[in-house]
Copies of this chain bind each other. A is one copy, B any other.
Amino acid sequence: MAGSTRATMRDVAALAGVSTKTVSNVVTGTVPVNADTRARVEQAMRKLDFVPNLSARSLRNGRSGVIAVALPYLATSFSAELLDHIVQAARLKGFAVQIEQTGSEPRRERELLSRARAHLIDGLILNPIRLEDSALTDADRQLPVVLIGEVEQQVADHVGIDSVAGAAEMTRHVIERGARRIAVLGGDEQHGIATATSRLRLQGVRQALAEAGLPADPRLTANHADWTIAGGAEAMIELLSRGVAFDAVLGFTDSLATGALHALHGRGIRVPEDVLVTGFDDVELSRFTEPALSTVQIDRAAFAGAAVDLLAERIADPSGTPRSITVPHRLVVRDSTRATPGGWIPGS
């Protein structure tokens, strides 16, 4: 029975024969309201199909109840699964979620930080890829921000994992399996353009190689700007074209590793008999690739929950020093590393 225009609190108040403040009290529940007054008001609300106007509310009390999540790419499995958990965690805290795609352009990342506060947003969960930390230090900090992923400085609240340790563990694992010439997909030798994720995971690999007394051959590191499956396949093909022998491939994400599996399979290189392959993230797919991927599992629910919690707290109290939460990770061994690799030799 809703009219053409939606009902306002004034209408409800008129119908129930009370003031708008009383209606407000019923709605917000912050102040006790006489039982039958409340009943009258509630009945009126129902009858008019009243829904409070959140624009007005948010104007009045400066909160919109919406947080934004900005990720470099929305289309990857990792993003999608993370988003899923963030939305669920946010819902529990009463937040709606707005999404932004940065395409890992620093300009866009910075823009979000400064402009976003206009966008009816209470806070931002940002996965910075190429944003220099400096951009976060000063004025822009008006908007509550939680950074997720790899961040090298401690300038804002942060949730991440120990990428160095994760990559090192995985490297040790393949070394234990007998790998000696270990290739890396997603690592970037040119430090200038490398993302923090890339740098840290590469650092972990190097560390484990050093421990084992193995050399780090820069010719065994390949990357592709897009950390997608296609990007992984291309990087793998490039690596193969270099004609340098290897017996394991560490993908810095499961998507990269999946692409690598495809490229290797296309060349008739067997996994894990010839070459071991590993991923990072443990997305749903990695249990179902051929062979299933060994990977570094991140508890995404915990990760997302921590990010949302931190942000909610920061919104409630914008002051205070930045905190950092490191979510535990776990090595998951599957078929892609269940062998001692014979190794791939150029020309074979």
A residues in contact (CB < 8 Å) with B: 1-2, 6, 49, 51-56, 58-59, 64, 66, 73-77, 79-81, 83-84, 87-88, 96-101, 114-115, 117-120, 139, 142, 228-230, 233, 258-259, 261-262, 265, 284-285, 287-290
Q: Is the CB of B51 within 8 A of A118?
A: yes
Q: Is the CB of B230 within 8 A of A284?
A: yes
Q: Is the CB of A87 within 8 A of B101?
A: yes
Q: Is the CB of A142 within 8 A of B97?
A: no
Q: Is the CB of B118 within 8 A of A53?
A: yes
Complex partner residue of A120 from B88, B120, B285, CB under 8 angstroms: B120
For A53, the chain B residues whose CB sits under 8 A away are 59, 118
For the complex, what is the distance from the CA of A98 to the CA of B230, rounded to whole Å? 28
Complex partner residue of A99 from B81, B87, B287, CB under 8 angstroms: B87
Q: Assuming A80-B76, A290-B262, is B115 touching A51 (CB within 8 A)? A: yes
Q: Is the CB of A101 within 8 A of B75?
A: no
Minimum distance in angstroms from A158 CB to a CB of chain B: 23
List 4 other contacts, CB 8 Å, given A229-B288, A230-B287. A6-B142, A53-B59, A261-B290, A262-B290
For the complex, what is the distance from the CA of A99 to the CA of B114, rounded to whole Å? 22
Q: Is the CB of A6 within 8 A of B117?
A: yes
For the complex, what is the distance from the CA of A56 to the CA of B57, rounded to whole Å? 10
For A290, the chain B residues whose CB sits under 8 A away are 261-262, 265, 289-290
